[in-house]
């Protein structure tokens, strides 16, 4: 009814064509709606900057899982030499949010897969970060087999690590 509320972002290429940087879904929706033109912001940017802007836009979409978000964050930080704090500012997140997502990448592959597949939640995984490595697989299997919710998982891990240290 109102068309596109937020303009798409493009950059001009050497051959006078334009490359879409951000707003792919808005662009596609406009085409489906029969629009012959769409409002756009033209950015002066290099290919790498464009890729990072697209990554940032993707990060802010809700349908990425925590591992995909963390991998995208790590990619942007390394390609642009950003600190967690600088990235958090760009994304409109708190620094702790960025730190928590990045910590998930330290988990073994089978747990990262479980997050990606929705077998466990990001909060389950954050609790698993507190488990000593030699106990991790056992704890993971226990919480998944018994289908523990997050608070039960946290409680189980607290009891386990408490007795483990004493």
Question: Hey, which residues are catalytic here?
Answer: 24
H or E segment at 126?
Answer: helix 122-128
> 134 vs 1, 18, 77, 138, CA distance in Å?
58, 53, 31, 8
DSSP 3-state assignment of 130?
coil
Query: For residues 82 and 13, what is the distance between their CA atoms, to the nearest angstrom?
Result: 26
């Amino acid at each position: 009814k109102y068309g596109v509320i937020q303009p798409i972002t493009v950059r001009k290429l050497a051959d006078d064509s334009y490359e879409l940087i951000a707003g792919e879904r808005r662009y596609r929706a406009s085409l489906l709606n029969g629009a012959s033109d769409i409002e756009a912001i033209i950015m002066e940017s290099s290919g790498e900057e464009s890729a990072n802007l697209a990554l940032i836009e993707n990060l802010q979409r809700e349908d990425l899982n925590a591992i995909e978000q963390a991998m995208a964050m790590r990619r942007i930080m390394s390609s642009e030499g950003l600190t967690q704090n600088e990235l958090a500012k760009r994304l409109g997140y708190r620094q702790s949010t960025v730190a928590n997502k990045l910590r998930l990448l330290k988990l073994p592959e089978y747990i990262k897969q479980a997050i990606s597949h929705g077998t466990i939640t990001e909060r389950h995984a954050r609790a698993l970060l507190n488990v000593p490595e030699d106990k991790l697989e056992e704890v993971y299997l226990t919480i998944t087999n018994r289908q523990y919710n997050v608070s039960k998982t946290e409680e189980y891990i607290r009891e386990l690590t408490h007795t483990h240290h004493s």
